[in-house]
Amino acid sequence: MKNRYDFVVLFDAQDANPNGDPDAGNLPRVDAETGQGLVTDVCLKRKIRNFVQTTRPDQRIYFGENVVLNRQNQEAYKALDIKDSKKAKQADRDEARAWMCENFYDVRTFGAVMSTEINCGQVRGPAQLSFARSIDPIVASEHAITRTSVTNEKDIEKGRTMGRKFTIPYGLYRAHGFINPFLADQTGFSDDDLELFFSSLENAFQFDQSAARPAGSMAVRGLLIFKHDNQLGHAPSHQLFDLIDVKKKTEIVTPRSFADYEVIIDESSIPEGVTLIRRI
């Protein structure tokens, strides 16, 4: 890979729970001091993995549901005909690490710690994402729901049981990302992998519908990419991110759609050697 990339992704949620917090009864994640909503980087990576797994059966995913990771590590040793994985030498582990990068999309993209009982080493991935943070504070709404069925025979007389569901009326979120070309060279992350990564970001919520995130309730509204014409780059990431300002329109008091915001880009301050690409 010959280019460095920095990017900003904007997505919104309406009457949905973008990322429930299991430590808070599945309430939408929130910054306790500012009230801004949060979506973790792990959550965003999960969306990308799921999209790749759904749409590209030729691309294997290491961190999947109901997967035993050591079994997948063992595949590398079997493919390379290394007999004793527990006594493997460093050269054998390096070969296993390279095999895992070649055969698992998310390993060569995000990296992985595979130094468990069957040691395939550790990989630093070239693609990294930040937490997403909402532009304005969010309000978590709690909804009581009923179920006409019961779980146990003894509860048949109850007729209905009660539950809770949490959503936010609206939130526009912003996350930052980075593609490290030097790490891409180490893991074999290619330009084709990069295109699949950006495509997955654009469509991250298309196949993620659920009761917590109904169809159309979450959408990527902007993917703005700074492409450097070399590997080192021409400006620090934070300086490029500062050129993009997302704010609520002055006449809007309570935002309820993406149209209530404006995205302002200071294109005149983009350094020479950096190209801004608007994917959305």
Contact, 94 vs 56, CB < 8 A? no
pLDDT tens sequence across 189-244: 999 999 999 999 999 999 888 888 999 999 999 999 999 999 999 999 999 999 99
pLDDT tens profile 59-113: 999 999 889 999 999 999 999 998 877 788 999 999 999 999 999 999 999 999 9
Beta-bridge mates of residue 137 = 36
The answer, yes or no, to whether residue 260 has pLDDT greater than 90, is yes
The count of other CB atoms within 10 Å of the CB of residue 245 is 11
Tell me the average pLDDT of the chain: 94
pLDDT of residue 159: 66
More confident residue, 149 or 14: 14
pLDDT at 151 over 80: no
Rg (CA), the chain: 22
Q: What integer pLDDT is reported at residue 77 of this predicted model?
A: 94
pTM of this structure: 0.93
Cα(171)–Cα(38) distance, integer angstroms: 10
